[in-house]
Amino acid sequence: MNEHDTHEEPHQETIEDRSPQEAGQEDGAQVGTGIETAGVPEAAIPELVIISGMSGAGRSTAAKCLEDLGWFVVDNLPPALIPTMVELGARSQGNVARIAVVVDVRGRRFFDNLRESLADLEARNVTRRIVFLESSDDALVRRFESVRRPHPLQGDGRIVDGIAAERQLLRELRGDADLVIDTSSLNVHELRAKMDAQFAGEEEPELRATVMSFGFKYGLPVDADLVVDMRFLPNPHWVPELRQFTGLNEEVAAYVFNQPGAKEFLDRYAELLRLVQTGYRREGKRYVTIAVGCTGGKHRSVAMSEKLAARLVSEGVETVVVHRDMGRE
């Protein structure tokens, strides 16, 4: 591996990527991108996951997790060589059924090569997914400072300058990602748990959902695909006998769903999600994160997240519930 995943702080293990090695990856390199699979059965073409994202956000941790799950992992592969890697896997007689490639985008030409490779893969019906590792500027600065390494794009500027340049360069790729994971507040073990939840199953489900409760006062989850706001319901925080509890408590949940509009919202939003699920499946999107917010992320959003997740499970959607801010106050 060319990236360094972790650094140590007292009582806390955090996520860190070592800056990428430049050897053999000139931005102007020209490499053919055609996949020659003539005579190879379609079933033999391997699954492909492309891991990318911000430097310092945990790309190599995610890659190591897939490696432990039996994926064939290639770190820092030039994007133009991705189709060639898929071709070699297709000719391995089933020995390489799942390939994960870690790429970082450090230049305009590098990004153009990646875009061309993705278009080539799509044209040849290769199943590919993009996992994008995201993190806040503050978290990335702390990680680079802790290992005393410069950001690969900062040049003569500051770390924040390199982060801003990389974020701009990766904007389009992030928009195309099938799965975005925000690692700002995750340690290594929590990131591995997220990857396990998405990839550990032996059979690939049609759609996986994460329902995440959160508090608006702590900020929107950056990896959310859909955001809903529960602040139209009365806040149990102002009911003295309920304040100390959370939305996991039966009394709090009963209070929330006895309010006008609560049950109707659940029914109608679940119906909307059925429509969204159909579209996601049609477009080949396998992961969706639904963020459910209230003021502090303790009562209303937690209760609604639990009910919404139960609805999804009852309709055959593999669902994980995360309560991001519960217990934070």
Same domain? 194 vs 226: no
Q: Is 274 annotated as a binding residue?
A: no
Residue ranges making up the domain that contains 220: 208-323
Structurally, the chain folds into a number of domains equal to 2
Residue 9 within a domain: no
Q: What is the pLDDT of residue 279?
A: 85
Same domain? 158 vs 222: no
Q: Is 119 annotated as a binding residue?
A: no
Q: Write the burial class of residue 301 (CB in 10 Å: 0-12 exposed, 13-18 middle, 19+ buried).
A: buried
Which residues, 6 or more positions from 201, have their beta carbon under 8 angstroms from its beta carbon? Answer: 318
The residue ranking higher by pLDDT, 44 or 313, is: 313
CATH of the domain at 60: 3.40.50.300
Residue 8 within a domain: no
Three-state secondary structure readout of the chain: CCCCCEEEECCEEEECCCCCCCCCCCCCCCCCCCCCCCCCCHHHCCEEEEEEECCCCCHHHHHHHHHHCCCEEEECCCHHHHHHHHHHHHCCCCCCCEEEEECCCCCHHHHHHHHHHHHHHHHCCCCEEEEEEECCHHHHHHHHHHHCCCCCCCCCCCHHHHHHHHHHHCHHHHHHCCEEEECCCCCHHHHHHHHHHHHCCCCCCCCEEEEEEEEHHHCCCCCCCEEEECCCCCCHHHCHHHHCCCCCCHHHHHHHHCCCCHHHHHHHHHHHHHHHHHHHHHCCCCEEEEEEEECCCCCHHHHHHHHHHHHHHHCCCEEEEEECCCCCC
Residues 133, 205: Cα–Cα separation, whole Å? 22
Same domain? 76 vs 179: yes
Q: What is the pLDDT of residue 181?
A: 92
Chain-centre distance for alpha carbon 188 = 14
Residue 139 within a domain: yes
Q: Is 57 annotated as a binding residue?
A: yes
Q: Is 107 annotated as a binding residue?
A: yes
Same domain? 193 vs 281: no
Q: What is the pLDDT of residue 6?
A: 38
Q: Is 55 annotated as a binding residue?
A: yes
Which tens digit of pLDDT belongs to each residue from 135-168? 999 999 999 888 888 888 888 889 999 999 899 8
Tell me the average pLDDT of the chain.
82
The residue among 173, 199, 225 that closes a domain is 199
Residues 48, 82: Cα–Cα separation, whole Å? 9
Q: What is the pLDDT of residue 201?
A: 62
Same domain? 89 vs 190: yes
Residues 116, 131: Cα–Cα separation, whole Å? 18
Q: Is 58 annotated as a binding residue?
A: yes
Same domain? 282 vs 174: no
Question: Mean pLDDT over residues 114-123, rounded?
Answer: 85
The residue among 175, 199, 223 that closes a domain is 199
Same domain? 258 vs 279: yes
The residue among 199, 221, 243 that closes a domain is 199
Which tens digit of pLDDT belongs to each residue from 190-209? 888 888 888 876 555 567 89
Chain position carrying tokens 């990131």: 191
Q: What is the pTM of this model?
A: 0.61
Q: Is 104 annotated as a binding residue?
A: yes
Q: Is 175 annotated as a binding residue?
A: no
Residues 90, 47: Cα–Cα separation, whole Å? 10
Same domain? 157 vs 59: yes
Same domain? 172 vs 243: no
Same domain? 225 vs 253: yes
Lowest mean pLDDT among 208-217, 224-233, 271-280: 271-280
Q: Is 314 annotated as a binding residue?
A: no
Same domain? 194 vs 53: yes
Q: Is 60 annotated as a binding residue?
A: yes
Q: What is the pLDDT of residue 270?
A: 93
Q: What is the pLDDT of residue 222?
A: 85
